[in-house]
Structure 1
């Protein structure tokens, strides 16, 4: 009886270790994909724009994929750089002061749409127009995106998806 328990425990331990290894492999692969392209985007922005220092990078997947870099220009002003995935397209640099802030974009959405729960607010680009993407759950329990024009604060697009 004792031998059966030892063998069972050993088999269970091997199974758990294999499952744990598989989980970490999947997690590592997913995180690598999330950050894939960030270093190359920073290098392009440093070379092709007035960016001096990159503080953060996020990937935006809209109609096209962009890497959005937050940083400082050579005059130490806060800037955003939208780097298209397609290397034939030029990066776009904007002074943070020339557009609305993340906080202002969220205020616009809260005033017009009354979200129940905000999921995220991040910079993006659609058809050469820099924007803020605000994701939230609306008052009808729908997963909702609002695309806010970075330059003037207008809601460019409102998309609501039933859960």
Structure 2
């Protein structure tokens, strides 16, 4: 009788362990597939940046969604010039900005933390808003309500502010 109970416990343990392994592997596969389009977009944006802006080394990648989607690659050229390369998802238009000619990601985040005091920053991206290069920051305010700031790259002017969504 004890042998039968031990065998049943082993079978149950192996069944539970097998189910856990299946769940973990399934979650990993779902995560990989969900992330795949973004990985592809980043690779394509980097390739375009290397071709059209002489990008040598990329340091960051941003996705910007407003009226249109843009992918931005930050990095340096072979001449060691720091640039942002903004690539439109549709049409593939490319805009190259010199990082020193505008506000950095850190400048914008410092502004948001100082002026808006969010509970959490959700995303920051650099793209084109009304034909002007702009940073877009989405965040949760102190009441945990979704808010956005669109800030001009060149001078840090707030172009649009949407709070308490």
Tell me the TM-score normalised to structure 2 length: 0.82
Aligned with residue 12 of structure 2, among 1, 5, 8: 8
Matched, 1:153 2:156: yes
Aligned to 2:135: 132
Q: 1:112 deviation in Å?
A: 4.1
3-state SS of the aligned residue for 1:36?
Answer: helix
Cα deviations by residue, 1:78-124 (Å, 9 ceiling, x for unpaired): 110101112x3420001011111223323433454343443443323
CA distance in 1, matches of 2:58, 2:120: 30
| Inter-CA distance 52–14: structure 2 relative to 1 (3 Å threshold) | closer
Gap runs ≥5 in structure 2 = none
Once structures 1 and 2 are overlaid, which stretch shifts more, 24-33 or 121-130?
121-130
CA distance in 2, matches of 1:145, 1:157: 8
Gap runs ≥5 in structure 1 = none
| Inter-CA distance 103–38: structure 2 relative to 1 (3 Å threshold) | closer
Cα deviations by residue, 1:28-62 (Å, 9 ceiling, x for unpaired): 22232332221211111222234343233222233
Aligned to 1:53: 57
Matched, 1:25 2:29: yes
Q: Which consecutive aligned stretches of 4+ in structure 1 deviate over 4 angstroms post-superposition? A: none
3-state SS of the aligned residue for 2:138?
Answer: strand
Matched, 1:106 2:118: no
CA-atom RMSD, angstroms?
2.2
Q: 1:19 deviation in Å?
A: 0.9
Structure exhibiting the larger radius of gyration computed from Cα positions: 2
CA distance in 1, matches of 2:28, 2:35: 10
